[in-house]
Amino acid sequence: MRATVLPAATALALLGVVFGQNPSYQQDPKWRAPAEAVAKPNPLAQKPEATAGGIKLFQRNCVECHGAGGIGLEKKHAADLQLPAVQQQSDGALFWKITNGNTDRGMPSFSRLPELQRWQLVLYLRTLKPANEPQSKASAK
């Protein structure tokens, strides 16, 4: 009995990920960070150990809409944070988006979080990769 329960539970978990993902996500073309924000470097870029704090912050503040792997939940119309359209943005642009939000699309502002915590979230976002792509250490852009 135990041998069949584990594979069944794994299959259900995978189905939840697949069907929870937001395959129809389209980035808002009007939601662009200003040039000065885009150019802003991540002060934690050389401190990959700070990513652990970003993981905790993501779990506390972001999983509800973006899902545990950052794939974006369709029912929340949330961004798939693994997509190249997200990952190719600079650290400064991601920081600006986390800080300011996009209330027209349901993304709240996280300006209430201390600045370094928002930078930790950016570090963590850099680790999000599709399942078929190898995980890498946080990289500065």
In this structure, what token pair is assigned to residue 59?
């779990």
What confidence tier does 22 reach under pLDDT thresholds 50, 70, 90? low
Question: Could you tell me which residues are beta bridge partners of residue 107?
Answer: 102
Write the pLDDT tens digit of every residue in 112-139.
Answer: 999 999 999 999 999 998 766 665 544 4
- Options 1.20.200.10, 1.10.760.10, 3.30.465.10, 3.40.50.720; CATH for 23-140 is 1.10.760.10
Which residues, other chains included, contact 28 with Cβ-Cβ below 8 Å and sequence gap of 6+?
102, 104, 105
Q: CA nearest 88: which of 53, 132, 125?
A: 125
Write the pLDDT tens digit of every residue in 38-80.
Answer: 999 999 999 999 999 999 999 999 999 999 999 999 888 899 9
Q: Is the pLDDT of residue 16 over 50?
A: no
